[in-house]
Structure 1
Amino acid sequence: MTSPRRSLIVLGLAAASALSLAGCAGGTAAGDGGDGGVAVVASTNVYGQIAEELGGDLVEVTSIVTNESQDPHSFEPSARDQLAVAKADVIIENGGGYDAFIDALIESSDAEAPVVTAVEYSHDWPENEGHDAESAGEAEDHADHEGHDHEGHDHVEGFNEHVWYDPHTVAHLAEGIAAELAELDPDNADVFAANAEAFVAEVEGLEASLADIAGAHEGAEVFVTEPVPAYLIAAAGLANVTPDAFTEAVEEGQDVAPATLLESIARFEDGDVKLVITNTQTAGAETAQIVGEADGRGIPRVAFSETLPEGQTYISWMQANIEALSGALES
């Protein structure tokens, strides 16, 4: 069922689309592949940067959410964003209800570009049967736009949609993006495949760094105010002791129930929590209270973001996050 918010976005964009198309007719708009490259539109700059790594000069990438202060969960797209989606050759989204605005843009613009959906590459995705027999060439099946259900990406209960913090998923996603680029530009298929191989090798370096943390701190307890970095925490062998009700309320922008807040604060009483992790893009009274508890007890804190910081690549950003995690645990 289409959510009321998505319906409002679709209606608003549809009303603005004619004016936008007319206003941009005199120049080259973002995402129209004006120089002949494959026009890639990504919901966030995280996926946009990965596409740039894989496509290089052969792609023209438009990332819709680029600001660290913007929350993709509640992002309101513009008519210009709709135009970019309408002209895309391929679209990359997170899915799983995280960036529902991209589905609304696809619907309102009648875009026919294939869609690569990141959550579908996660082993935890309910409809994923696994990657064991999947090669880079077979990965393109994930990106098949025909029959793509844009209404099927509402939030999935029990599934953590923040899959870009899972290096293993990102490695498979990169293979899928490269396969889709090769389908669109077969003359450069070898280039895309080589770039994907190099990128995956760097992702494996991230996994090795996480394994080092697990070797030194296996089972260390951490409190995570939101589920954003949960995959990274698990890969590092750390134990997330945050009550589910706390992270769910914070992520949904709701008040944390008093009983849940008391349960959360009690986690700090035995001194076993070694680290508190927050989200740079959201804050609230309950999170501030947890931060106060951590600071009062001398527990180190690390803040992670949902979008790529300026000047970073996906690899350098994740490596910096991993180093921050390791440094805080060593302090």
Structure 2
Amino acid sequence: MSSSPFPRRPRLTRAAALTMAALVGGAVLTACGSEDGTDDGTAAGGLNLVASTTVYADIAEQVAGDNATVESVIYDPAADPHSYEASPADAAAVADADLVVYNGAGYDAFVDRALENAADVPVVRAVDEYARVTGETVAEHSHDDEHGAADDHDGDHDDHGGDDEHGAADDHGTEDDHEGHDHTSDTNEHVWFSLPTAAAVAERVAEELATIDEENAEEYRDNARRFAETLTPLEEQLDVIHDRGHFPYAQTERVGAHLFDAAHMVDRTPRGFLSSIEDDTDPSAADLSAMLDLIAEREVAFLAFNNQTETPVTARVRDAAESADVAVVDLTETLPEGVDYTTWMTGIVDSLSSALAGATPVADGGH
């Protein structure tokens, strides 16, 4: 059983995603606000904003309105931001931007590399806004080694996949401190799944634009407030889920963990399985067996599945969930075609609500 607000994409192997990312790397940047690649009438004297992915481009565009052209470096839904290599045209666009909006913490490291060779370009980093609203710092990660980069990053993935980071218990990887809700989110760079962070990014974009373009400052601030207001019903929906109790789940990657943390859900994924998938290696036979047993025995209410970069291992886990009639909540790392951020998140939260409709929460957060 699959809970998804969007049609399921054809399955992509990670290798296929990387290949498509390479093809995208040579392409010219596409303006997010225009279907035909034009500037929607904002080019003459208008501001030029560049975002790393369509997620941040959409947020920036909602704040900027008609006063700017917003470009996304990665605009292909199949491209993997972890491995994306910026083209010279991408780097030039970043360097020439009036404002750059990106995730940070190594997730979209191609932006950091482009900024190294740029003048003093104003930036909004989502991980900084996450730290501002939560008080938790996201550790810098390097994904270079996964794709054959230099050896000097070898130590990074040990931190990325360590036991403390996943905070898992010995049985099925349940986080150690659910009563205090000390989740894995402090080291999870996928911060756009944190709704308060998305609102904070919009607010910071508005303030940066207000500094650059004082004449339209209040318009930017009003737009940011309106964007934040669209997220309030989703936060309330997550609160309703939380009020029902702690629901256990499994995930193929920690893409949506911030959203699940907001509802105080319990991650039962074996930590060794998560570490292996996130390090782009096959899990051990024991870790895979533990994950499949977790699904087959229906010890979780749903499986969160990263549909954007699928491997034979994660496909096997999904098949096991479907065979066991465990709900599958599909996630991606960039916006599906034709939807904005709020619509995207609404679909995911609705899927969670549907998946949990007949589920039973665990006592005391899984302890």
Q: TM-score category by the smaller chain?
A: 0.7 to 0.9
Report SS of the residue matched to 1:287.
helix
Instruction: Please state how far the C-alpha of 1:268 moved relative to its aligned partner.
Output: 3.1
User: Aligned partners of 1:125 and 1:102: how far apart in 2?
Assistant: 23
User: Aligned partners of 2:347 and 2:282: how far apart in 1?
Assistant: 31
The range that moved more, 236-245 or 41-50, is 236-245
- Among 91, 101, 110, which residue is 1:101 paired with? 110
Match of 2:295 in 1: 268
Q: Does structure 1 residue 162 correspond to structure 2 residue 171?
A: no
CA deviation string 1:247-266 (max 9, x = no partner): 23212211112222122223
Q: Does structure 1 residue 115 correspond to structure 2 residue 123?
A: yes
CA deviation string 1:220-266 (max 9, x = no partner): 11111100000111112321111222223212211112222122223
Query: Contact 2:296/2:324 (CA < 8 Å) preserved in 1?
Result: no
Give the counterpart letter for 2:246 in structure 1. Answer: G
- Among 226, 230, 233, which residue is 2:257 paired with? 230
Give the counterpart letter for 1:181 in structure 2. Answer: L
Give the counterpart letter for 1:306 in structure 2. Answer: E
- Among 59, 70, 81, which residue is 2:79 paired with? 70
Report SS of the residue matched to 1:273.
coil
Give the counterpart letter for 1:56 in structure 2. Answer: G
Instruction: Please state how far the C-alpha of 1:61 moved relative to its aligned partner.
Output: 0.4
Q: Within 5 Å, which residues of 2 pair with 1:39-54?
A: 39-54=48-63
Match of 2:17 in 1: none
- Among 182, 185, 189, which residue is 2:210 paired with? 182
Instruction: Please state how far the C-alpha of 1:275 moved relative to its aligned partner.
Output: 0.6
- Among 176, 182, 207, which residue is 2:235 paired with? 207
- Among 242, 261, 279, which residue is 2:306 paired with? 279
CA deviation string 1:104-163 (max 9, x = no partner): 12224x2421111101111264289xxxxxxxxxxxxxxxxxxxxxx9xx8874410000
Instruction: Please state how far the C-alpha of 1:94 moved relative to its aligned partner.
Output: 0.2
User: Aligned partners of 2:275 and 2:128: how far apart in 1?
Assistant: 22
Query: Contact 1:162/1:229 (CA < 8 Å) preserved in 2?
Result: yes
User: Aligned partners of 2:302 and 2:271: how far apart in 1?
Assistant: 17
User: Aligned partners of 1:291 and 1:248: how far apart in 2?
Assistant: 18
Give the counterpart letter for 1:84 in structure 2. Answer: A
Query: Contact 1:64/1:81 (CA < 8 Å) preserved in 2?
Result: yes
Higher relative contact order (CA 8 A, sep 6+): 2
User: Aligned partners of 1:252 and 1:281: how far apart in 2?
Assistant: 16
User: Aligned partners of 2:278 and 2:76: how far apart in 1?
Assistant: 18
Match of 1:304 in 2: 331
Query: Contact 1:309/1:317 (CA < 8 Å) preserved in 2?
Result: yes
Instruction: Please state how far the C-alpha of 1:327 moved relative to its aligned partner.
Output: 1.4
Q: CA RMSD in A?
A: 2.5
User: Aligned partners of 2:311 and 2:352: how far apart in 1?
Assistant: 23
The range that moved more, 117-126 or 261-270, is 261-270
Report SS of the residue matched to 1:96.
coil
User: Aligned partners of 2:115 and 2:340: how far apart in 1?
Assistant: 27
Query: Contact 1:281/1:305 (CA < 8 Å) preserved in 2?
Result: yes
Q: Does structure 1 residue 126 correspond to structure 2 residue 137?
A: yes
Match of 2:224 in 1: 196
User: Aligned partners of 1:124 and 1:232: how far apart in 2?
Assistant: 17
Report SS of the residue matched to 1:306.
coil
Match of 2:172 in 1: none
The range that moved more, 119-128 or 244-253, is 119-128
Instruction: Please state how far the C-alpha of 1:63 moved relative to its aligned partner.
Output: 0.5
Q: Does structure 1 residue 252 correspond to structure 2 residue 260?
A: no
Instruction: Give TM-score scaled by structure 1 length.
Output: 0.78
Report SS of the residue matched to 2:188.
coil
Give the counterpart letter for 1:322 in structure 2. Answer: V
Give the counterpart letter for 2:202 in structure 1. Answer: A
CA deviation string 1:184-236 (max 9, x = no partner): 111111111111111111122221121122234x2111111100000111112
Instruction: Give TM-score scaled by structure 2 length.
Output: 0.71
How many residues align? The count is: 278
Give the counterpart letter for 1:36 in structure 2. Answer: G
Q: Within 5 Å, which residues of 2 pair with 1:314-329?
A: 314-329=341-356
- Among 307, 318, 321, which residue is 1:294 paired with? 321
User: Aligned partners of 1:46 and 1:289: how far apart in 2?
Assistant: 29
Report SS of the residue matched to 1:227.
coil
Instruction: Please state how far the C-alpha of 1:29 moved relative to its aligned partner.
Output: 9.9
Structure 2: 5+ residue stretches without partners:
1-25, 27-36, 140-152, 166-186, 359-367
Give the counterpart letter for 1:54 in structure 2. Answer: V
Give the counterpart letter for 2:51 in structure 1. Answer: A
Structure 1: 5+ residue stretches without partners:
1-15, 17-27, 129-150
Query: Contact 1:29/1:84 (CA < 8 Å) preserved in 2?
Result: no
User: Aligned partners of 1:323 and 1:269: how far apart in 2?
Assistant: 24
User: Aligned partners of 2:75 and 2:237: how far apart in 1?
Assistant: 27
Q: Does structure 1 residue 87 correspond to structure 2 residue 87?
A: no
Match of 2:12 in 1: none
In structure 2, the CA distance between the partners of 1:310 and 1:249, relative to structure 1 (3 Å rule), is same
